[in-house]
Amino acid sequence: MLHLSGASYRYAGYSKEVLHEIDLVLGDGEIVGLVGPNESGKSTLCLVASGLAPASIGGSLRGTLTLDGQPTAGLSTYALAERVVVGFQNPNTQRSGIAATVFEEIALGPMNLGLPVAETVRRTHEAIARLRLEALVRRDPLRLSGGQAQLVGIASLLAMRPRHIILDEPTAQLDPAGTRLVGDALRALAAEGTSLLIAEHKTDLLDGLCTRIIAIDDGRIVLDGPTATIFDDPRLAELGVEAPSRARLSRALADGGFDPSVVGAALAGGVA
């Protein structure tokens, strides 16, 4: 379990806090979606929830972060890396820059953890399989398209088999098929007990994936609850968060005096 309690964070060299009194609980096997307008503190929250703020970037954190019962204060970044990973949306920065092939790139994480070679190879293959990257294993990581690089970046994190995964817009560069692929992989991981926090604009993706949704604005959590409840909340629009298609159309139909249940039926029916 990942537990952030009363977290307020200020970046190094800045006078104002960017996060205020954040309480966040991520249970094992839970997938929590994080929504909010840009510049609301989503990325900062991802950094704090992973412990990298302040362990790596400094700054000052009030409140506590506890991972599986152990407080993270004073833990080194590599001790944190064994428990929790965070991925950012820019595939260029996710790339290590020292791997000759995609296979090596994905293997770097487990290797750095000091694992025996056989285990490293096993975890690498597993991560590759989860994201169907078999065709890319021999490619030069520098020569991938944005979408491919993003998938490789996520796989590189999965290979470390962390108990907690935090992803900041993991599908930004992906086409609809890639987005579904990532959604399926994350769902499978949650079923195995991993806890996940996903910051995304694609509320349709979150709608089908998450058990809970947290909405953040101006560094504060303003909504926190089950997915259906939060996505039906009209306050989302004020926050500048697009409701998922299901909720949006249900509301539009209901407002027009029509029966909104067709929406659920159409979703369930799928596309022939």
Partner 1 sequence: MIGGYLGPLVIVAIVIASASVAGVAGRLVRLSLLLTLPIAISVVLVSVFTRAGTHVVFTIGPFDATTEGIDFAGQTLVRLLAISTSIGLFGITTDPRSFVLDLERRRLSPRFAFVALATLEAVPAMVERASVIAAAQRARGLDTEGSIRARIRGLLPLAGPVVLSSLTEVEERSLALEVRAFGRPGRRELLWRMPDSRTQLAVRGALLLALVATIVARITGTFPQLP
Partner 2 sequence: MTAAPGEPILRTEGLVHVYAGETRALDGVDLSVAKGERLAIVGQNGSGKSTLVRHFNGLLRPTEGRVLVDGDDAAGRRVAHLSATVGLAFQDPDRQIFAPTVKAEVAFGPRNLGRRGSELDAAVADALRATGLDRDAGTNPYDLGYSRRKLLALASILAMGTPVVVLDEPTTGQDARGVDRVRQIVGELAARGRTVVAISHDMRFVAETFDRVVVMRDGRIVLDGTPAEAFAETAWPMLASTFLEPPLAARIGARLGLGSTPSDEALLFRMGKRLPTD
Q: In the complex with partner 2, which residue's Cβ is closer, 17 or 217?
A: 217
* Smallest gap from residue 264 Cβ to partner 2 (A): 10
Interface positions, 51-110, toward partner 2 (CB under 8 A):
89
Residue 5 pairs in a beta bridge with 64
CA distance 20 to 72: 19
> Contact between 137 and partner 1 (CB under 8 A)?
no
> Contact between 109 and partner 1 (CB under 8 A)?
yes
Whether the CB-CB separation of 56 and 50 falls below 8 Å is answered with no
Partner that binds at residue 100, options partner 1, partner 2, none, CB closer than 5 to 8 Å by kind? partner 1
Helix (H, G, I), strand (E, B) or coil at 110: helix
CA distance 133 to 105: 12
β 31-35/195-199 pair status: parallel
* Candidate residues 139, 147, 187, 222; the one interacting with partner 2 per rule CB under 8 A: 147
Helix (H, G, I), strand (E, B) or coil at 180: helix
> Contact between 126 and partner 1 (CB under 8 A)?
no
CA distance 178 to 142: 19
Mask: binding to partner 1, 18-57, rule CB under 8 A, as x and -? -----------------------------x--x-x---xx
Contacts within 8 Å (CB) and 24+ apart, 75-80:
75/51, 77/51, 77/52, 78/112, 80/50, 80/51, 80/52, 80/55
Q: In the complex with partner 2, which residue's Cβ is closer, 140 or 175?
A: 175
* Candidate residues 60, 64, 70, 92; the one interacting with partner 1 per rule CB under 8 A: 92
Residue (of 174, 197, 244) closest to 30 by Cα position? 197
Whether the CB-CB separation of 32 and 194 falls below 8 Å is answered with no
Interface positions, 198-217, toward partner 2 (CB under 8 A):
201
> Contact between 184 and partner 2 (CB under 8 A)?
no
Binding residues for partner 1 (CB under 8 A): 47, 50, 52, 56-57, 77-78, 81-82, 85-88, 90, 92-94, 96-98, 100, 104, 107-109, 111-117, 120-121, 142-143, 156-157, 160
Binding residues for partner 2 (CB under 8 A): 36-39, 89, 145-148, 169, 172-180, 201, 237, 240-242, 245-246, 248-249, 252-253, 256-259, 262-263, 265-267, 269, 271-272
